[in-house]
């Protein structure tokens, strides 16, 4: 099933209206190459596609030799470099291209920001647009499915996640097999190769611990103790997991009030299929004890996708005070605060008293199965 990606039109618009380069980040198998190929087809530009895994391109795009690069791209209107993090000196070479080979357009993808972000951030300041491509979002699915169909497929998304290939795979066993291969073969590749991490068993053990702690504040000290690792090492590993788009963090929101908890983060998974296969639990929702955790992770990750694809930028946090009152999600934009409580059941809840008193101008919304689609798709 071909699912239209929200970034397609965004990237096409930038490609046509700007001479800046475009960098697209996203996990392996999330559909970056398919997205750019779709952009290329709609752009009508004569395109040179470079796979950074091919050695014949490595010397040219890492050599700072304008003549060699010019000879390679001569006659083309668009240069597409796939998995660019593999090319040494890619940042400075992209700068050379963008500064000297106009009006050549450039699109670059990377499955890891471990190397690529550091390589392009400084030399390409002011020269690129950057975007993130996530697993398929409800915001994208709504273009193909109505409300009934989205609701009917909700359990599938909670169990198997939303990597593009999962939508064309039939049968529970086949989906488990795909997620196992995805987890074993792809997700750790950049982490091990580019992050210089050699102990894949420790990474998997860390991910399992994080998978069980969705919705809870994570203690790096406790994780280190369980894994036989130092606190700083755990922090570094989690940073790598973020930069390879496996997990993301929410920090505690605070206006520097002593009663507000901010020392520990909450950690969520970009894809629940990955999370569930890590803990070997693909049971149906009726047989699970972690439905609330799945629901919270789904809504927060889907909200992140929705805000990103609608270019509605702001900051996301959780909120908790030492007395125990908390909110699952807080959004801050233009000085305005919106608090959200996320529950799978239908029972409604009110904003915590501490939230109302401390932030009287802030909004509060209760999200459950009755209104979640508006929260993550806008409709």
Distance between CA atoms of residues 129 and 355, nearest Å: 37
**Last-in-domain residue among 132, 151, 186:** 132
41 inside domain: yes
CA nearest neighbour of 292 among 344, 235, 363: 344
Q: How many domains does the chain have?
A: 2
**Last-in-domain residue among 278, 309, 340:** 309
Average pLDDT, integer, range 314-323: 91
Confidence of residue 85 (pLDDT cuts 50, 70, 90): confident
The verdict on 187 and 216 lying in the same domain is yes
338 inside domain: no
pLDDT surpasses 60 at 214: yes
Q: How confident is the model at residue 21, as a pLDDT?
A: 93
Q: How confident is the model at residue 13, as a pLDDT?
A: 96
Q: How confident is the model at residue 109, as a pLDDT?
A: 93
pLDDT surpasses 70 at 142: yes
Distance between CA atoms of residues 369 and 71, nearest Å: 57
Average pLDDT, integer, range 200-210: 88
379 inside domain: no
CA nearest neighbour of 38 among 70, 2, 62: 2
**Bridge partner list, 48:** 79
Q: How confident is the model at residue 113, as a pLDDT?
A: 63
pLDDT tens for residues 106-134? 999 988 765 566 666 666 778 889 999 99
The verdict on 40 and 57 lying in the same domain is yes
Q: Is the pTM of this model over 0.85?
A: yes
**Parallel/antiparallel/unpaired status of strands 336-342 and 363-367:** parallel
CATH at 188: 1.10.10.10
349 inside domain: no
**Last-in-domain residue among 294, 309, 324:** 309
The verdict on 109 and 145 lying in the same domain is no
End-to-end CA distance of the chain: 23
pLDDT tens for residues 274-297? 999 999 999 999 999 999 999 999
The verdict on 24 and 79 lying in the same domain is yes
* Backbone dihedral angles phi then psi of residue 145, each to the nearest 5 degrees: -125, 150
The verdict on 245 and 155 lying in the same domain is yes
Identify the domain containing residue 192 by its residue range.
138-309
The verdict on 100 and 150 lying in the same domain is no
Distance between CA atoms of residues 303 and 288, nearest Å: 24
The verdict on 144 and 103 lying in the same domain is no
Percent of the chain with pLDDT over 90: 70
């Amino acid at each position: 099933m071909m699912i239209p990606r929200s970034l397609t039109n965004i990237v096409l618009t930038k490609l046509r209206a700007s001479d800046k380069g475009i960098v697209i980040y996203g996990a392996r198998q999330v559909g970056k190459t398919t997205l750019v190929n779709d952009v290329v087809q709609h752009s009508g530009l004569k395109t040179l596609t470079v796979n950074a895994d091919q050695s014949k391109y490595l010397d040219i795009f890492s050599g700072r030799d304008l003549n060699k690069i010019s000879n390679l791209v001569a006659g083309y209107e668009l240069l597409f470099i796939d998995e660019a993090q593999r090319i040494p000196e890619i940042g400075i070479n992209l700068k050379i291209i963008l500064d000297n080979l106009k009006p050549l357009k450039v699109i670059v993808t990377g499955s890891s920001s471990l190397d690529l972000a550091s390589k392009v951030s400084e030399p390409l300041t002011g020269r690129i647009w950057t975007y993130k491509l996530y697993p398929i979002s409800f915001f994208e699915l709504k273009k193909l499915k109505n409300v009934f169909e989205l609701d009917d497929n909700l359990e599938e998304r909670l169990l198997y996640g939303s990597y593009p290939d999962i939508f064309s795979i039939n049968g529970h066993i086949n989906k488990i097999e795909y997620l196992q291969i995805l987890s074993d073969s792809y997700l750790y590749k950049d982490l091990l190769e580019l992050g210089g991490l050699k102990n894949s068993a420790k990474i998997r053990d860390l991910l399992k611990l994080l998978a069980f702690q969705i919705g809870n504040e994570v203690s790096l000290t406790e994780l280190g103790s369980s894994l036989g690792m130092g606190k700083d090492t755990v922090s570094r590993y989690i940073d790598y997991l973020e930069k390879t788009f496996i997990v993301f963090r929410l920090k505690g929101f605070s206006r520097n009030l002593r009663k507000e908890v901010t020392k520990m983060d909450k950690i969520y998974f970009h894809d629940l299929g990955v999370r569930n296969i890590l803990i070997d639990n693909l049971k149906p929702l009726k047989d699970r004890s972690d439905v609330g955790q799945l629901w919270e992770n789904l809504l927060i990750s889907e909200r992140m996708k929705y805000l990103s694809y609608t270019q509605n930028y702001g900051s996301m946090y959780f909120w908790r005070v030492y007395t125990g009152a908390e909110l699952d999600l807080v959004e801050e934009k233009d000085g305005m605060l919106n608090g959200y409580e996320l529950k799978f059941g239908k029972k409604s809840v009110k904003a915590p008293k501490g939230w109302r008193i401390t932030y009287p101008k802030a909004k509060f919304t209760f999200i459950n199965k009755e209104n979640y689609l508006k929260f993550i798709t806008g409709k």
